[in-house]
Structure 1
Amino acid sequence: MGVFYSSTVTGRYHTFSSTYTRRNMNTIADAFIGVRKTLVKEFEGPGSRYPLMSPNGQQIYYVRSDTVTYDDAWVADALTDSTWTQGRPLGKPINNATNNNVMSVSQDGNEIMLWGQYNADGTYRTMGFSTSRRTATGWSVPTDINTDHAVNKASTREECVSADRSVALLGREIEGSTFGSKDIYASFRKPDGSYGPLINLGANINTVGSENAPFLAADGRTLYWYSDHETFGSSDIFVSKRLDDTWTNWTPRINLGPTINTAAWDAYFCIHPSGRYAYMNTSDGYRDGICRLDLPNDEATRKLLPDPVVIVKGRVFHAKTKQPLGVEIRYDDLTTNKNFGTAVSEPKEGRYSVVLTGGRSYGFYAQREGFFPVSDNIELKDLKQYQVIERDLYLEPIEVGSTIRLNNLFFDTDKSDLRPESRAELDRLIAMMSTTTSIRIVIEGHTDDRGTDPHNNKLSTDRASSVRSYLVKSGISADRLDAKGYGKTKPIERGVSDAARQRNRRVEFRITAM
């Protein structure tokens, strides 16, 4: 068979010198060279384990065994990309007199999926899954998540959910359908919020051994888990990338190699959306703690890291009172109008975050009853690296005098014909006017300061008229609609920068009667 790999692995208290002869072990030899492992002091405590990074990188959840019998769920908040607040217990109603564990976190960080189902007073009721939302006063009493499959009877973290909540990944042993003692399965979310039958991820993920604790990175494509098959120690961390939307077609699994994995037990790997650092448990000298891994930025390592994502985050406000708002935020493909998920801003400070992958143009909008949806857009067709973009959103109430900018209207340069990507924005305006039939509006077009006055006046008028024509063709009475062009006479931002000019080029509508 021959020697596959020879290495000396140095732990905190001891050194392993090992020669590995695994015939089928798949590694990338130069990946993770120089990786640094550090015990995270902020997470230290009895039985500190199961680290779980939120998709937006703002929280880490984990478990501590501070009582003789039960585990409690803990959390720490990001201070910077690499430093954390001191960990703290989630408290009631999340922690109770049983084992408590956060299985997954929504992309906005405002919803957590938990092991166990709860009574109305927060006490434990039965095995299963539940979800809790962040409120103005803390976490809500968890509510049940229904599934079409048996729950995992272990209270360890053996499940995760994609950032958009559409797919759950679960470690299960099912007689007659597993490759080995435990496999990883997918379960798709149904329209009613429950999760459907289990689908085995296939032979590129699962083996004759035991596959455990899946962690799906923020890109929704890169999967990490630990396994006891073809390993350097008793269990190792592996990675694979999803190839299509069936969730059964994956790249061959790759062992992260001997700089990540040791001759001991390695498990519960999670990674920051930037791909710059990760967290895990290992029994190689860190039994009561969670390790931070500072990851190198080289070509070999990048093959094993998630694809780049963009975190769009900010706060949502009432445009007139400036009070924070808890609202739903949807994000769609601008070309196809396909929805890629929903986030919810928390009501106390109005904070939200959305995780976006590359390869498309997105429109996202915040909506709440009594307000017109505020929209924005972002172009990510050629995304090359991780980014964080801050966008605060201001919702205008639907009342006389409100002026609302239509951010997701698109025209070609110096043209007035609406591009197809504009339809979703206009359809929201049509929905408002169809629901409240007494509303009358004036549609106002504006340009930047370049070009002659006659040209700008005509272009702004033509664009406003194009919007009016679209609404009339869609069934809105013409006598409820006026259209005016102001050229460059009403800028909302002074200056000659590209950003200032872009803000001044706009179409908006003003409510004149209700």
Structure 2
Amino acid sequence: MRATIIFIGFLFGFIFSQPALAQKGLHTKSKKAIEYYREADNHRVRMQYQTAEQLIQVAIKKDDKFQEAYMILALIYRATGRIDEAVSQMEFAKSLDEKNSIVLYELAKLYLRQGKYNEVLTTTREYLASSPTYDRRIEDAKKMEATAEFAIHHMNDASLYNPHPLSDTVNAFPTQYFPVVTVDKSAILFTRRFGASMDFDEDLVISYKKDDGQWGFAKSLSRNINTDGNEGTCTLSADGRTLIFTSCFGRPGYGSCDLYVSKKIGDEWTVPVNLGPKINTRAWESQPSLSADGRTLYFVSDRHKGDVGHRDLYVSILDDQDEWTSAKALSEEVNSMGDEVSPFIHPNGVTLYFASNGLMGFGGFDIFRTEKTDTGWTTPVNMGYPLNNSEDQLSLFITSDGEQGYYSHEDIFENQKRSILYEFDVPEETQVKYKTSYVKGHVYDAKTQKPIKAEIELFDLKKVQKISQVKSDSVSGDYLMVLTEGAEYALYVDKKGYLFKSMSFNYEKGTEKPVEVDIFLNPISEGTSVILNNIFFKLDSYELENKSTTELDRLIRFLKINDQIKVEIGGHTDDLGSDEYNKKLSLQRAESVYKYLVSHGIPKAQLRYQGYGKTQPAVPNTSEINRQYNRRIEFKVVK
């Protein structure tokens, strides 16, 4: 995989330029050649490559044995992406004086760029044996040697990935990069540019998957988003309604590039708003990645230029007041002495992918993976060859099920650089540890049947911990909540003035297929009831299991907020067993819930409990699943 380099100026804030070569002890006596050489090098370091190339060619004509002139020409070719030509020129420069340590050093860098790791080993060892004196180059050479040894040891079968370009309906522009795929795989969002240089405008576009599985033509995301300025790298929450993107020109900001947020309400995107000084600074902020619920933001900034890398990964959390907290750099396990860029947090909220040139890899920027734990981040793992190779790898996206990946790939097409989007199969051995599914649908008022905006929260029942939180759309009622395997979940849908709804999802043993459920909330009124799906008892017992705590605490909160109502806790069973046994067990279970509520501050006068045994089944007792559903606790407003 090769990631695009033609837009690196936008991604990284500036383009690296090689410092001018030393001009003492040049391998020529031609004053004219030296004059053209010096002028060419001055243009080169200012990235005026066309003029620099013309001048250095004149210097070579003045003296065709001028070693340093060939070195400059090789550096010009490298800066303009002509790596093979650069190697050819540098190899010729070496033939003119094989003991020139700078030539050996620069040639090793070019071999590394080509992925010629055996040649890297030979050349770096020649360089280190030449008694060099410049400490920085010695350090770089040792790193190149270690990189080559690592790469040779970790090469494997490229056929496992099966990469292929997306259709022309997506790759419809001269340049497209940084893909983002929705959780349900129904749409792909990316940045497009109408030309290869920074002179062309960047916009965000989206392509939807049609009924036949093909991608439709990409179109502008929104007039409120795209302007005459550049709208660059972006991220989308799992429900597709929170967008954060990079903008460098044309909007009020704090620095060179800032992050902005827009919300989708119905079918319209709101006017973008700067995320503010807790995230944006006078420095460069870009390449955002949102967690599935849109409440954790990872991004890149170069705000701290010092001993750590120029670019590091940062994180900010949306608090209970819907304010972003002050961004903090990720730990040293992730942020190395080099640069870390292009983070992507998987929808599972645990697996973080990012690119780094400071960790051991195959050369340039490699893609790494780390897992979030209760205490921090695990040691990053290189994603391996051929996902990583000797070139810069950027803009990786992995689908929620972990089975497909997307990236941007640069190639030469009709003598022009072009970046297009690719899809590949993720080998099973490198797939995410925790895959995800989702539940989606609409939230309605049960009486009016109209869509409503409601709070939707997901809890890990065993940890008694909130995992994520989203809101349904105020216009359509749409909602989507990601569910990650490895836990048992309670999902709550709540709105002031309504009875809350609870759902249960057990993904401890793996993920299930996506679920589509429309939710109808009842306004609080006498006679309305709701099943408490996340209250659990031990087998043939009325003793509450610990994982019932989340539901019970939710019920306590509801009763304290709505202290003017009186409710009944009703116990129900299936049809197995005698009437007397079922009646007694249902009453005891209802009483257990009642006692828990009273012990946690709910007045007895606000409560009553009743056992109904098997007399009021919610569904026919025709299967084990139905019987399990009938073994329930109901919560009913009685006054």
What TM-score do the two structures reach when normalised by structure 2?
Answer: 0.68
Q: Contact 2:192–2:205 (CA<8 Å) still a contact in 1?
A: yes
Asked whether the equivalents of residues 293 and 468 of structure 2 are also in contact (C-alpha less than 8 Å), the reply is yes
Q: Give a deviation string over 1:68-105, Cα, whole Å, max 9, x none.
A: 64311112334579643432212232222321235322
Pick aligned residue for 1:292 from 417, 422, 425 = 422
Show CA shifts across 1:462-492 (max 9, x none): 2222223333333434344332222222222
Q: 1:240 aligns with which of 366, 369, 383?
A: 369
For residues 281 and 201 of structure 1, do their structure 2 counterparts lie closer, same or farther at Cα, with a shift above 3 Å needed?
Answer: farther
The answer to whether the 8 Å contact 1:442/1:511 transfers is yes
1:345 to 449, 456, 472: 472
Query: Is the alpha carbon distance of 1:243 and 1:336 closer, same or farther for their aligned partners in structure 2, counting shifts above 3 Å?
Result: closer
Query: What is the rounded CA distance, in whole Å, between the counterparts of 1:352 and 1:445 in structure 2?
Result: 31
Separation in 1, partners of 2:449, 2:366: 47
d(CA) in 1 for partners of 2:248 and 2:628? 50
The alignment partner of 1:354 has SS state of: strand
Structure 1 residues 144 and 510: CA distance shift in structure 2, 3 A: same
Aligned equivalents of 1:373, 1:434: Cα separation in 2 = 14
CA distance in 1, matches of 2:353, 2:596: 48
Shift of 1:190: 5.1
Equivalent residue for 2:240, pick from 104, 109, 116: 109
**Contact 1:66–1:72 at 8 Å: present in 2 too?**
no
User: What residue is the counterpart of 2:192 in the other structure?
Assistant: 64
Corresponding residue for residue 498 of structure 1: 624
The structure having more radius of gyration, on CA atoms, is 2
Q: Distance in 1 between matches of 2:589 and 2:333?
A: 55
Mapping of 1:273-352 within 5 angstroms?
273-285=400-412, 288-299=418-429, 301-302=430-431, 305=432, 307-352=434-479
Q: Within 5 A, what are the aligned runs for 1:15-414?
A: 19-21=116-118, 22-25=148-151, 27=154, 29-30=156-157, 33-44=160-171, 45-55=173-183, 57-66=185-194, 69-79=200-210, 83-101=214-232, 103-116=234-247, 124-127=251-254, 128-148=258-278, 150-151=280-281, 158-165=287-294, 167-189=296-318, 192=321, 193-202=323-332, 206=336, 208=338, 210-227=339-356, 235-242=364-371, 244-245=373-374, 247=376, 249-258=377-386, 260-261=387-388, 266-285=393-412, 288-299=418-429, 301-302=430-431, 305=432, 307-383=434-510, 387-414=513-540
Q: Distance in 1 between matches of 2:282 and 2:437?
A: 33
Task: Measure, in 2, the Cα distance between the counterparts of 1:474 and 1:252.
Answer: 45
Q: How far, CA to CA, are the matches of 1:468 and 1:203 in structure 2?
A: 48
Report Cα offsets for 1:106-139 as digits up to 9, x if no partner.
2322211132499xxxx72225323222212511
From 560, 563, 571, the counterpart of 1:445: 571
Which residue is equivalent to 1:467?
593
Higher mean C-alpha displacement, 37-46 vs 262-271: 262-271
Give me the whole-angstrom Cα distance separating, in 1, the residues matched to 2:602 and 2:310: 62
- Paired letter, 1:315: H
Task: Decide whether aligned partners of structure 1 residues 511 and 32 sit closer, same or farther in structure 2, where only a CA change above 3 A counts.
Answer: farther
Counterpart residue type for residue 337 of structure 1: V
Confirm or deny: 8 A CA contact 2:312 2:329 kept in the other structure. no
1:11 corresponds to: none
Confirm or deny: 8 A CA contact 1:40 1:292 kept in the other structure: no
In 2, Cα distance between the equivalents of 1:32 and 1:346?
43
Alpha-carbon separation, structure 1, partners of 2:460 and 2:443: 21
Distance, in Å, in 1 between the alignment partners of 2:203 and 2:439 is 31
Q: CA deviation at 1:245?
A: 4.3
1:354–1:469 CA distance, 2 compared to 1 (3 A) = same
Q: What is the Cα deviation at residue 266 of structure 1?
A: 4.1
CA distance, structure 2, for counterparts of residue 426 and residue 505 of structure 1: 17
Of 344-353 and 454-463, more deviation after overlay is shown by 344-353
Unaligned runs of 5+ in 1: 1-13
Distance 1:293 1:413 in 2: 48
Greater per-residue helix proportion: 2
Contact 1:218 1:306 in 2 (8 A): no
For 1:46 and 1:28, the matched residues in 2 are separated by 32
- Deviation larger for 183-192 or 268-277: 183-192
Cα distance, 1:205 vs structure 2: 5.4
Let me know the Cα RMSD of the aligned residues: 3.3
The answer as to whether partners of 2:436 and 2:485 remain within 8 angstroms in 1 is: yes
Change (3 A) 1:351 1:152: farther
Question: What is aligned with 2:134?
Answer: none
Matched position secondary structure for 2:439: strand
CA distance in 1, matches of 2:585, 2:232: 58
- Amino acid paired to 1:284: D
Structure 1: which amino acid aligns with 2:224? P
Pair 285,395 (structure 1): closer, same or farther in 2 beyond 3 Å: farther
Offset at residue 509 of structure 1 (A):
2.4
- Of the two structures, which has the highest relative contact order with CA contacts closer than 8 Å and spacing of 6 or more? 1
Q: How many residues align?
A: 486
Shift of the 244–46 alpha-carbon distance from structure 1 to 2, 3 Å rule, reads: same
Deviation at 1:181, TM superposition (A): 4.3
